[in-house]
């Protein structure tokens, strides 16, 4: 059973007795709905505010259902945000694909060349200039191939951070 309010907001009461707020959305001529919460935890005033916020997203060209889904996925990912945490998480996920010596070499490069300078910084906050300065420190030693490998590792960690919702696309790591 549905009890309508206004502007597409309604309270749905299931046969089992649960009561949930929904907002009816139309896009491309198709009806969908956005769950806004369970009653009584979410009252009428809160449901109206949530509906209005979703309407604002829709007017800005966003799909409120997709925005909510993306937020849930982002929250479900790891809370690790520093370059060190994200790099080690990425490293552990690559072990099955690598030869026996590659993980040790990559970890050694992280520990020696990257973590001391950018390891404690949040991935999303690292600026391209910071990364460049870190790579230049490696080049100063005359280790140009090591600097290339370090940049390659950073690119892979950044792609992983962005894919898991912890990185920023602001830092473009191109050759």
What are 59's two structure tokens? 């007017």
Total of domains in the chain: 2
Percent of the chain with pLDDT over 90: 51
Range of the domain at 139: 83-163
- Report pLDDT digits (tens) over 6-22: 888 999 999 998 999 99
Q: Does residue 173 form part of some domain?
A: no
Q: Say yes or no: 62 and 87 in one domain.
A: no
State the pTM of this model.
0.57
CATH value at residue 92: 1.10.150.130
- Residue 96 sits in the same domain as residue 145: yes
24 with 64, same domain: the answer is yes
Given the structure tokens 């950018």, which residue do they identify? Answer: 118
Is 148 inside a domain boundary?
Answer: yes
pLDDT digits (tens, 9 = 90+) for 94-134: 998 999 899 999 999 999 999 999 999 988 888 888 999 99
């Amino acid at each position: 059973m549905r009890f309508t309010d206004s502007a597409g907001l309604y309270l749905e009461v299931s046969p089992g007795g649960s009561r949930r707020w929904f907002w009816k959305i139309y896009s491309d001529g198709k009806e969908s709905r956005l769950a806004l919460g369970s009653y009584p935890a979410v009252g009428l005033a809160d449901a109206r505010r949530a509906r209005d916020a979703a309407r604002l997203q829709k007017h800005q060209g966003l799909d409120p259902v997709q925005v909510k889904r993306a937020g849930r996925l982002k929250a479900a990912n790891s809370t690790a945000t520093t370059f060190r945490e994200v790099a080690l998480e990425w490293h552990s996920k690559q072990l099955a694909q690598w030869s026996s010596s590659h993980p040790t070499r990559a970890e050694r490069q992280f520990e020696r060349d990257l973590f001391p300078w950018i390891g404690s910084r949040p991935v999303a906050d690292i600026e391209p200039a910071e990364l460049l300065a870190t790579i230049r420190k490696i080049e100063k030693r005359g280790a140009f191939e090591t600097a290339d490998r370090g940049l390659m590792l950073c690119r892979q960690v950044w792609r992983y951070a962005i894919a898991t919702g912890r990185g920023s696309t602001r830092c473009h790591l191109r050759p």
